[in-house]
Structure 1
Amino acid sequence: MNTKPELHVVWLKRDLRLQDNEAIYNALATGKQVLILYSFEPLLLNDPHYSERHWNFIKESLVDINHNLKPYNSKVFIAQSNIIAVFNQLLSKYRITKVFSHQETGILVTYERDKNFERFCKNNLITWVENINNGVQRGLKNRDNWMALCNSYFEITPLNFAPNTNQLLSIPEIEAIEAHFKIPDLTTPSNAIFQKGGRTMGLKYLNSFFKERYPNYMQHISKPELSRSSCSRISPYIAWGNLSIREVYAQAFHLKKTSKHKKALEAFMSRLRWQSHFIQKFEMEHTMEEASINKGFHKLKKSISKDYLKAWKTGTTGYPIIDACMRCLNETGYLNFRMRALVVSFLTHNLWQPWQEATTHLSQMFLDFEPGIHFPQLQMQAGETGINMLRIYNPIKNSLEHDPDARFIKKWLPELKNIETPFAHQPYLMTPLEEQFLNFKLGVDYPYPIVELDSTRKKASDVLWNLRKNKKVLNESERILKKHTLKKSK
């Protein structure tokens, strides 16, 4: 007879919150003693899609959770180990009968890890209870009923965190467990300019957005500088689960009833739904991580240029709006949607590089890296879905339209700070005499453009439009539409 104390475990992944966390709610509903666990897994620590900024955000999120668990005399058990090794050690002391977590729509390594963990649970007579995450459903063959399922998720009242007295494993009990593990240091740089992780900080962004910033949401959404304050800026808090989409949607829905800016809120709410839609697409087409969803585009071959890639990554392409975007992203972890589309379009169309060459650099830089958004968007902006409008963004047009006074450009390209605004957009138009007047030397103070826009745009357009006529591309486009076209719920 097994005399070890029974324990239910909540395995946190990308749901780093206590409130409206279905895994925690379900575990507490059993009435059994519960341990909340997070593990920094080597398979992810070493994965090229992630970087230190992500791990620091997660650490800050865990510190925030632990602060909120203090009144319950508990904390998250945080280890640095393979997840199966963690559970093997826990099983030496506890009789674990159930594990609760959300279904993670992640990269291939997390999918394989979860399959291994499922086998581990079966072998150890553990019931693994997985809940859907942000309305994304597993196992769908098409979208015929997805809208209704998604609506039902959004309509559920956000779940409260309300453990019974002494239901959570106590701090001394968790410290006894920690003695058998490598425990990561949760200290993070205090001077970093990235958004800080944690629900407390996420709520500050959300509350300030709904209180004063959202009225300009639509007017500034495409502006590289103004969007930094007029957009919600909650994307990393949703990506890492400090906030749930459902609770954000519920607050927006409630505010809309009395707001004078209903259209701004409707646009914001539609993008919350849009997020679930794209993650659902990735859930149903996991091969998108490495290859285009439309198999007809697999025949498209592009030569990789290390020089082009280096210039793009470091913001030295000779096109100020592109370079400002990349330097801003590298330093802060954030770009608005339009500028993200612009830099990917420039890489895949004007520089004619494979979208796969952008995946790891951008995922490392985006603080809000979300696999289900990342890979579908890269392919859509590269024009390799066969179903979306081919958009080849013009950097100069976007620069003049969305940063007319070059405020964003001059902020991130200090070498252009004293250049007259028209030349800040297109420094290569300066004559030698104007360079002399401005004490500026093109090719020395700022690089020449590495490609010519019109000819590279035409090449990309011709190749991609011709490829869209290919029989396999057309057949694949039909398959994709049939599988992913949304059906309105009745």
Structure 2
Amino acid sequence: MAIKVGVLHVNDTRPFKKQSINVVWLKRDLRLSDHAPLQQAMCSSLPVLLLYIVEPELLGDPHYDIRHWRFVHQSIEDMNCQLADVTVTVLSGSALECFEQLNQYWQLTTIWSHQEVGLGVTFDRDLLIKQWCTENKVTWSEFETGAVRRGITNRLDWDKSWQKTMRATISPIDTLRVHWLRPQPDKLELLPVFKAPLAWRATDTHFQSGGTANAWRVLNSFFQERGQSYAFHLSSPDLSRLACSRMSAYLAWGNISLREFYQTVLANWDQKGWRKSLIALSSRLHWHCHFVQKFESECSIEYQPLNRAYGSFTYKNDDSALQHFEAWKTGYTGYPMVDACMRALHKTGYVNFRMRAMLVSFLCHHLQLDWRWGAPHLARLFLDFEPGIHYAQFQMQSGMTGINTLRIYNPVKQSQEKDPDGIFIREYVPELAELPNELIHTPWLLTPMEQAMYQVQLGVDYPKPIVDIVETGRVARDVLWRWQKSGAVRKEGARILARHVQVKSR
């Protein structure tokens, strides 16, 4: 008996029934544990596509650098190693274009993702995706990131909510239970599949490597050996590189959740001799969400001061300002600790919190340059760039909030107190390596004979200071205190406190 085989001809007008699928859209949550979208995927009766999109809008954004995309690539490769017989589908193009193309070959039913507390460019993208989902009858379910709550107008009981979220039981995720979509090669050929360039796949041992396996390796090493002196060494630019948790990049890109980190801290709470360090660490995990929440609730601080009364604050904007900015960016200001920190960032993507604050203070207070000049530059250098923390901290350290204590850092004092033996300076400003400890912090005081003795010619081998920090510090204090005491700044300060400071219900 002959069997008829149905063939779909090019001119066939009969409707083609597409397969319905769901999508887990990965952003800054590159892990397979404590992941609400993946939790939903386990319950899906439809095939699930695990998706990451390499967006040109972010590749070209001034906040991002190859170091970030290399970390993302490493994170996705780590996820692929953990998955059994499926891999993350990585597409290239705007999110809108990618979802439109996916919807041509499958019927998208539901998209699951975490809410992204990102830059203006990602917020605008999400608005477009939300509109597209509505028009195409696709459900988009977003889940909170950490304990950050979207749409709140004050911090009433926010701390209680944070504790509840961080202490909640972590439900295990079995990726073998997910009905994964495994796109056929012919379908993949029709999609803008992204192939990581060689630069993304290259290894640079000066930087931390991405991925959940590396995240847990680093965290475990902290509790096994490195972290007991955390509270005592976290301000040292040299010792902090070992004593600090070094988890910030893994949190920023979601290789581990903040809840997983916090619960690991609690599990080690009773270690003998660790109490002071663990108290200091747990408080910083709390502040992590506090700053991200501030950015979520007032994302305009990417572009304008948190305290709007500073909108008319003036900065230098002449030829010397551009020259000073270039010296700051490249680490040639003539102040060894400033230069060492900037060069360390270029080389490794990391310096500790205090040195980051000093860099911002030097830019905004001593050089009198606009904080908006420096924010994208440091974002490009920080391997752990987290938009919410970055902009909230930049506003605070530059003195644009009107509610925080003004901190005008003296880079010489920081250098002498936090790197007294010049270990950090010698590593990252090697042209000063031969100077004795008493001179390495202030090389401009070298006499001509000392310059010849130590083979350091000021203005040739190492620059002379580009500003006099005694004078610039005095000017900055006068100007900033005058502004902070003004009625307009204080009025705005009251608004900020009402919106962003934690209060408890009665």
Using structure 1 for the length normalisation, give the TM-score.
0.96
Task: Report if the CA contact (8 A) 2:306-2:401 is conserved.
Answer: yes
Once residues 457 and 166 of structure 1 are traced to their aligned partners in structure 2, the CA distance between those partners, rounded to angstroms, is: 59
| Counterpart in the other structure of 2:363 | 347
Contact 1:77 1:178 in 2 (8 A): no
User: How far 1:84 moved relative to its partner?
Assistant: 1.7
Cross-structure match for 2:125: 113
> Any idea what SS the aligned residue of 1:92 has?
helix
Question: Which residue of structure 2 lines up, in the alignment, with residue 88 of structure 1?
Answer: 100
Would you say 1:79 and 2:91 are equivalent positions?
yes
Q: Is the 8 A contact 2:42 2:177 kept in 1?
A: no
Q: Percent identity?
A: 42
State whether structure 2 residue 429 is matched by structure 1 residue 413: yes
Does 1:14 find its partner at 2:24? no
- 1:242 lines up with 2:258 in the alignment: no
| Partner residue of 1:317 out of 333, 350, 353 | 333
* Aligned: 1:267 with 2:280: yes
For residues 166-177 of structure 1, the aligned pairs below 5 Å read: 167-170=179-182, 173=183, 175-177=185-187
Does residue 206 (structure 1) correspond to residue 216 (structure 2)? The answer is no
* CA distance, structure 2, for counterparts of residue 255 and residue 303 of structure 1: 49
User: Residue by residue, what CA displacement relative to the aligned partner does 1:112-145 show, whole Å, maximum 9, x if unpaired?
Assistant: 1001100111111111100000110000011113
The 8 Å contact of residues 28 and 34 in structure 1, kept in 2 or not, is answered as: no
Match of 1:252 among 247, 265, 276: 265
Which amino acid letter does the alignment assign opposite residue 250 of structure 2?
Answer: Y
SS at match of 1:376: helix
- Residue number in structure 2 paired with 1:394: 410
Deviation at 1:442, TM superposition (A): 1.3
1 CA distance for matches of 2:30 and 2:402? 36
* Residues 1:156 and 1:230: Cα distance change in structure 2 (over 3 Å): same
Number of corresponding residues: 486
| Displacement after TM superposition at 1:167 (Å) | 0.9
Which AA in structure 2 matches 1:25?
Q
Q: Is 1:482 aligned to residue 495 of structure 2?
A: no
SS of residue in 1 equivalent to 2:175: coil
Query: What is the CA distance between 1:405 and its match in structure 2?
Result: 0.2
Residues of 2 paired with 1:217 and 1:109: CA distance? Answer: 36
Residue in 2 that maps onto 1:430: 446
Partner of 1:219: 232
Amino acid at match of 1:402: K
Q: CA-to-partner distance for each residue in 1:263-305, whole Å, 9 max, x for gaps?
A: 2112111111100000000001111001100011111111231
Higher CA-based Rg: 2
**8 Å CA contact 1:333, 1:366 repeated in 2:** yes
Whole-Å separation in 2 of the counterparts to 1:357 and 1:366: 15
The whole-number CA distance in structure 2 between the counterparts of 1:462 and 1:431 is 33
| CA 1:445–1:163: 2 relative to 1, 3 Å | closer
**Deviation digits for residues 360-385 of structure 1 (CA, Å, limit 9, x no counterpart):** 11010000100001111111111110
Segments of 5+ residues of structure 1 without an aligned counterpart are: none
Cα deviations by residue, 1:401-446 (Å, 9 ceiling, x for unpaired): 1000000000001101111111111111111222222232111111
| Per-residue deviation, residues 81-132 of structure 1 (Å, max 9, x unmatched) | 1112111122122221110001111000100100110011111111110000
CA-CA distance at 1:489 after TM superposition = 7.0
What's the offset of the Cα at 1:181? 2.7
Q: Using the alignment, how far apart are the partners of 1:66 and 1:436 within structure 2?
A: 57
Please show how residues 463-478 of structure 1 align to structure 2 within 5 Å: 463-478=479-494
Report the Cα distance in structure 1 between the residues aligned to 2:185 and 2:365, rounded to whole angstroms.
54
Distance 1:177 1:277 in 2: 44
Distance 1:360 1:333, change over 3 A: same
CA drift at 1:192: 4.6
- Tell me if the contact between 2:48 and 2:179 (Cα under 8 Å) persists in the aligned partners: yes
List structure 1 segments (4+ residues) > 4 angstroms apart after TM superposition.
none
Calculate the TM-score normalised by the size of structure 2: 0.93
Asked whether the 8 Å contact 2:43–2:178 carries over to 1, the reply is: no
Structure 1 pair 311/487, CA: closer, same or farther in 2 (3 Å)?
Answer: same
Greater shift, 183-192 or 440-449, is seen at: 183-192
Of the three residues 273, 278, 290, the one matched with 2:303 is 290
One-letter code aligned to 1:239: A
Residues 189, 8 of structure 1: CA spacing in aligned structure 2 closer, same or farther, 3 A cutoff? same
Alignment partners' CA distance in 1, 2:465 and 2:454: 19
Output one character per residue of 1:38-90: Cα deviation in whole Å (capped at 9) or x when no partner.
00011111111111111111011111111111x2x111110111112111122
RMSD after superposition: 1.5
Say if 1:419 and 1:438, in contact at 8 Å, map to a contact too.
yes
Q: Distance in 2 between matches of 1:261 and 1:284?
A: 35
Worse-matched range after superposition: 427-436 or 118-127? 427-436
**Alpha-carbon deviation of 1:258?**
3.9
Taking the aligned partners of 1:174 and 1:159, their CA distance within structure 2 comes to 32
Q: Secondary structure at the match of 1:99?
A: strand
- Contact kept in structure 1, 2:148 and 2:293, CA below 8 Å: yes
Question: How far apart are residue 2 of structure 1 and its match?
Answer: 7.7
What residue ranges of structure 2 are gaps of 5+ in the alignment?
Answer: 1-14
Query: Residues 192 and 184 (structure 1 numbering): CA distance in 2 closer, same or farther, change over 3 Å?
Result: farther
Query: Matches of residues 97-108 of structure 1 in structure 2 within 5 Å?
Result: 97-108=109-120
State the secondary structure of the residue aligned to 1:265: helix
Change (3 A) 1:175 1:235: farther
Matched, 1:373 2:386: no
